[in-house]
Chains A and B, each alone.
Chain A
Amino acid sequence: MNIVSFQFFIFAFIVLALVLVSPKRWQNPILLGASLVFYATWNLTFVAILIIVTTINFFAGIWVKTNLNKKLVFWAILILNILALALFRMLDSRYVIQFLFPMDMAALASQEWVKHFLLPVGFSFYVLQAISYQVDVSQKRIEPERNFVDFSLYMAYFPRLLSGPIERARTFLPKIKADRVIDNSLLSRAFTLVLVGLFRKIVLADTINSLLQNDYFQTHPYGIIGLVNLLGYAFYLYNDFAGYTSIVRGISCLFGIELSPNFVQPYLSRSLTEFWARWHISLSEWLRDYIYFPLSRWLLSRSGNRRNAVNTYLPPLVTMMVSGLWHGFTPAMLFWGILHGIYLMGERLIFNLRPSFRPTEGKIWRQLITGLITFSFVAAAWSLFKFGGLRESIIWLEGIFIHQEAIEIKMIYGPLLLFLLSMFLDWLQYHYKEELITLKLNLWARAGLTAIVIISLVVTTFLNSYIPQPAFIYLGF
């Protein structure tokens, strides 16, 4: 069941109605049952794998707390989770399959039906939740959860099951245990989140994607057309994922559970460090808390708590490499991670040498320039996402600098308009310091804006109806 489908919205409202009419003790079990039913619409095997991972982590959490060999249990479950994640990632990588298996096995493992059977959608998201839970329990940040239903709901909660946001047990579990009231403000918030998400997904992402599928963009990978194509991917990826996140947060709001925001206008960032604080925040924070900080602390302790080049520059590189591998066990993803690691190292080096270069301070034109530089670096790195190979990515980037005469300039008007619309939406959210700016408007203005958004959704749905759209890019992770 796709998130952007009538079936999903009807499903969500049926579940909401069922939860509302049920007594308190049945509400979370119903929500869990609904989550498993939702997951089963993708594949029954996925449900089985989810139940196994959940059960093992539930009992391991209790054992970590009560067992005499706490450390042993902790490391065992940690390694098990990491191995499981690595194994599924490897199965998803043709490079690894070809390297590890004989040819006939590799061919079998590359079959779509095998992948469909073995690679659960959302696996890499809920395993990260399991790892963070085990670390938090072992470090006594939280008590182990003793209610199996609540813990399972933490792992399987359907609005976030497919592609996050990656929640922490210490913030999520209290929410599902608390008394929650759906009132006017929560409903308005839920509805607005869904509407903004649909706008980003359908009006911006899908339309950009459909425009760039035009043969002209595929056959003219040079100059400004090549550049617009690359920028198009950057805006497509952002609006697709931000749209998804907004929709699932809106749906979750209906159940009185606020999910973490994943995006805070990332393309308005003025440095790479700032970008990673605004892009896929739940993953960035997970990597920060469970890779970057522990590694930094460990390196610092090894150097007697003195800053040196290794403990300053290595942690961002390693963290971004892990991020790359989490996205896929492919050379392109690994290189994407290394590239962002190098970006962060270089940026840190420059800021350490010249503190006045920090873009958060200084004049507006300087902030604009650093913003543009940051966006250029990010967009160039997305080429590895787009083309899936280092060579293809370099060829494309080189092509941008090749001058091409007699281009059909009108072809870029549509994509450019949508880029501006996307940036304008970001600017509004940034300027008003409110993700859901319509909530600041009066009743009539809000109703008018809502009507306009609904009309634009209908128009673009028709406009793009002949062009197949992928469900969501991040479903692939």
Chain B
Amino acid sequence: MLSIKISRKLFHSILITSGMLGLAILIGEIILRLDYIRHILPTPTLSRVAMYPELDVKWARLEEYAKDHDVTCFILGSSMAESNIDGDILADSLEKNNGIELSCFNFGLTGFKLESTASLATVLERRFHPKYLIIGVSAVDFDPNSDDTRNLSSIPWFQTMQGAFSVDGWLSENSMIYRYLSLLPKLRDNDYRDELKKSETSIGPNGFRVNLGNRGLTGNGNSVRLKEYFLNPYDLEALDKILAYQENVEKVFVIEMPVMAEFLPHYVDGGEAGYSEKFLYPLKLHLEQKEIMFLDTQKEMSGLIPPEFWYNENHLNVEGANLFSRWLADKLRATVMGGE
């Protein structure tokens, strides 16, 4: 006959062990939140599976930035928005010339399509309640033939931050220990480590990615980058979702991200005409119907930006970004915010 006969002493053991574990977790959480420790450790991750360190670095930078700033504006989009618009220069210029006070954080992410950007916008709007959303768009952001980052918005952290609770997502958001534990297996991957280091060194405190130097045209100069192109309806739908935030925030701006003039004929199939017919005009029309201000920059800027200000065919380097951000501030003040 199997029977059980346990005394209170056993529960003391369990209680003491649990207490020690709880204490260890508490101490760990405190230590990992110390600025000194965070600066010497690699950036923790928000996802156990997604190998996308840029998102982790951006979020860590934003958490730091939000400690000292009331984030009133977000710049969203792909790597072109990320490296073309320096939020500090944009804000300084607007404040100096028009007295508009802004704290702009650039949350552009490499390879992000509008579909993922919409999820991100939801997260940022819920958490930070910004006044302005600046969406930098380019033809590649609506490319139906690229799925690289689309599944990122399905990671548990994103889902939890959008209101669909999961334990994994909740822990990623609230526990530094969990974030670092999730990082451990990724650090065993050399490619991930390199990518993380690259993001940590090139992304500034306001989220702006600093591209140094001039690599000129990369890849096959004569081949078309975006073949069989059309505006992906999923991305258009996602853009509408972001535009709907106009009701919550004061303004949503959509800005065309310029590319190097020499590259434009090879950007979308059909050359420059294809770019206009397949990307620019349909998008403009779509936004006009929604009464959203769209700033097309390609025509004006491609002549203003000297070749040495380009990092490559579709990204500006730090000097180019400086120029573009000041130009953008002037445009926004004159055409959009001027009346305020």
Which A positions have Cβ atoms within 8 angstroms of B? 19-20, 24, 27, 179-184, 187-188, 210, 255-256, 443-444, 446-448, 450-451, 454-455, 458-459, 462-467
* Interface flags, B8-45, vs A, CB<8A=1, else 0: 01101100110111001000000000000000000000
**B21 adjacent to A462 (CB under 8 Å):** no
**Among B2, B4, B24, B185, contact of A463 (Cβ-Cβ < 8 Å):** B185
Chain A positions within 8 Å of B12 at CB level: 443
Given A447-B16, A447-B17, A448-B20, 10 more A-B residue pairs with CB atoms under 8 Å apart are: A179-B3, A182-B5, A182-B6, A187-B6, A187-B10, A210-B188, A444-B16, A466-B185, A466-B188, A467-B188
* Interface flags, B51-81, vs A, CB<8A=1, else 0: 0000000000000000000000000000000
**A179 adjacent to B1 (CB under 8 Å):** yes
**Among A20, A188, A210, A464, contact of B3 (Cβ-Cβ < 8 Å):** A20
Chain A positions within 8 Å of B9 at CB level: 184
**Contact A451/B4 with A444-B16, A462-B182 known, Cβ cut-off 8 Å:** no
In the bound complex, what is the Cα–Cα distance between A448 and B16 (angstroms)?
Answer: 8
* A156 CB, nearest partner CB in chain B, Å: 17
**Contact A19/B181 with A184-B9, A187-B10, A447-B16 known, Cβ cut-off 8 Å:** no
**B184 adjacent to A459 (CB under 8 Å):** yes
* Interface flags, B218-229, vs A, CB<8A=1, else 0: 000000000000
* A453 CB, nearest partner CB in chain B, Å: 10
**B185 adjacent to A182 (CB under 8 Å):** no
**B20 adjacent to A447 (CB under 8 Å):** yes
**A20 adjacent to B10 (CB under 8 Å):** no
Chain A positions within 8 Å of B4 at CB level: 20, 181-183
* A80 CB, nearest partner CB in chain B, Å: 34
Asked if B7 is an interface residue, CB under 8 A from chain A, the answer is yes
Asked if B48 is an interface residue, CB under 8 A from chain A, the answer is yes
Q: Which residue of A lies closest to B51 (CB)?
A: A466
**B21 adjacent to A455 (CB under 8 Å):** yes
Chain B positions within 8 Å of A24 at CB level: 1
**B185 adjacent to A184 (CB under 8 Å):** no
Chain A positions within 8 Å of B181 at CB level: 458-459, 462
* B6 CB, nearest partner CB in chain A, Å: 6
In the bound complex, what is the Cα–Cα distance between A256 and B2 (angstroms)?
Answer: 7
**A184 adjacent to B1 (CB under 8 Å):** no
* A465 CB, nearest partner CB in chain B, Å: 5
28 interchain pairs, CB-CB under 8 A: A20-B3, A27-B2, A179-B3, A180-B1, A180-B2, A180-B3, A181-B2, A181-B4, A183-B4, A183-B6, A183-B7, A187-B10, A256-B2, A444-B16, A446-B13, A447-B16, A447-B17, A450-B20, A451-B24, A454-B21, A455-B24, A462-B182, A462-B184, A463-B184, A463-B185, A464-B185, A465-B185, A466-B188
Interface size, B (range)? 20 to 34
* B188 CB, nearest partner CB in chain A, Å: 7
In the bound complex, what is the Cα–Cα distance between A408 and B170 (angstroms)?
Answer: 40
Which B positions have Cβ atoms within 8 angstroms of A? 1-7, 9-10, 12-13, 16-17, 19-21, 24, 48, 181-182, 184-186, 188-189
**Among B7, B21, B189, contact of A451 (Cβ-Cβ < 8 Å):** B21
Chain B positions within 8 Å of A443 at CB level: 12-13, 16
**A20 adjacent to B2 (CB under 8 Å):** yes
Chain B positions within 8 Å of A458 at CB level: 181
* B181 CB, nearest partner CB in chain A, Å: 4
In the bound complex, what is the Cα–Cα distance between A265 and B5 (angstroms)?
Answer: 33
Chain A positions within 8 Å of B5 at CB level: 181-183
Q: Which A-B residue pairs are the 9 nearest by beta carbons?
A: A447-B16, A451-B20, A24-B1, A462-B181, A466-B185, A447-B17, A463-B184, A182-B4, A179-B1
**A182 adjacent to B16 (CB under 8 Å):** no
Chain B positions within 8 Å of A182 at CB level: 2-6
**A184 adjacent to B10 (CB under 8 Å):** yes
* B28 CB, nearest partner CB in chain A, Å: 9
**Contact A184/B7 with A448-B20, A463-B185, A464-B185 known, Cβ cut-off 8 Å:** yes
**Among B6, B17, B48, contact of A465 (Cβ-Cβ < 8 Å):** B48
Q: Which residue of A lies closest to B178 (CB)?
A: A462
* A143 CB, nearest partner CB in chain B, Å: 22
In the bound complex, what is the Cα–Cα distance between A179 and B5 (angstroms)?
Answer: 13
Chain A positions within 8 Å of B17 at CB level: 447, 450-451, 454
Chain A positions within 8 Å of B6 at CB level: 182-184, 187
**Contact A447/B13 with A454-B21, A458-B181 known, Cβ cut-off 8 Å:** yes
Chain B positions within 8 Å of A466 at CB level: 185-186, 188-189
In the bound complex, what is the Cα–Cα distance between A465 and B12 (angstroms)?
Answer: 33
Chain B positions within 8 Å of A464 at CB level: 185
**Contact A19/B2 with A451-B17, A451-B24, A454-B21 known, Cβ cut-off 8 Å:** yes
* B280 CB, nearest partner CB in chain A, Å: 43
In the bound complex, what is the Cα–Cα distance between A210 and B16 (angstroms)?
Answer: 33
In the bound complex, what is the Cα–Cα distance between A248 and B184 (angstroms)?
Answer: 29
Chain A positions within 8 Å of B48 at CB level: 465
Chain A positions within 8 Å of B188 at CB level: 210, 463, 466-467
Name the residue in B5, B7, B12 with the highest tally of chain A Cβ atoms < 10 Å from its Cβ: B5
* A354 CB, nearest partner CB in chain B, Å: 50
Chain A positions within 8 Å of B189 at CB level: 466
Chain B positions within 8 Å of A447 at CB level: 13, 16-17, 19-20
Q: Which residue of B lies closest to A180 (CB)?
A: B2
Chain B positions within 8 Å of A184 at CB level: 6-7, 9-10
Chain B positions within 8 Å of A27 at CB level: 1-2
